[in-house]
Structures are given as C-alpha cells and as structure tokens.
Amino acid sequence: MNPRALFIINSDPRRSPRAAEAVRIAAGVGVWQQVEVTICLCEAAALTLTEAAGEFADGEDLSAHWKLIAEWGRPVFLETGAPLLKDLDQAQVKIERISTMQLAQMASQSDYVLRF
C-alpha cells in the first residue's frame, strides 16, 4: 500500500501564493501514483476552486492543476466551516465536506501531513 499524504491548505490565495503552490505540489506528487494524496481546503483556501483563482498570486495555472487532480477520481475535502462554500457549486473537482473532527482523524491516519 502506498503511503498517504494529507495536504491541509488554509492560506488565503488573495494574500499569498502558498495556496496555489500547495495545489501545484499536490498535483505533482499525486501524478506519480506512488503516494496517495488527499487535499483538504480550509478557510479561504476554498477560493482556489473558483473561476477567480487565476487572478490570485501564482493562480494562473490552478485550473490545469485542478483538472489533473480531478482525474484521480478522489474528492477534495472542504472543512464545513470554510467561508464561501456556497460559491463552489461549479468546482472542477468532486467536493466533499468534512468536519474538523473528521479532518483530525484523517490526519492521524496519514503518513505525512503537509500544511500550507
């Protein structure tokens, strides 16, 4: 069984390129299929899924990365308290909402937890 890596992204893409970089890294790691990559967007990081993401710092390639991630067939998790969830009805990836407790459980079952 492949090791599991959980990417917890909570950086605000309107203020920092960290969220876009985290999505890029997750897509790059996952494409080799040597690590089971799971992505959870918390807080304003959910904005990386919107059409406006291309306007954020380093966000010009986000759409291509999300398309690659969507091909995995796995959901991208959104913390239920994340703002702007109502704006994500047209996301390119399958979305699943999880609670903070579920995220903690997911982290405890992962081999690697990367926070951006």
Tokens at residue 103, please?
């995220």
**Average pLDDT in the chain:** 87
Q: pTM for this one? A: 0.89
**Domain residues for 89?**
4-115
Please tell me the distance from the alpha carbon of residue 111 to that of residue 10, in angstroms, as a whole number: 20
CATH number of the domain within which 26 lies: 3.40.1260.10
Domain count, the chain: 1
- The tens digit of pLDDT for each residue in 43-100 reads 888 888 877 666 666 657 788 899 999 999 999 999 886 666 665 656 688 999 999 9
The DSSP annotation for 12-60 comes to: -TTT-THHHHHHHHHHHHHTTTSSEEEEEE-GGGGGGGSGGGGGSTT-T
- Looking at residue 64, its pLDDT comes to 86
Please tell me the distance from the alpha carbon of residue 78 to that of residue 93, in angstroms, as a whole number: 12
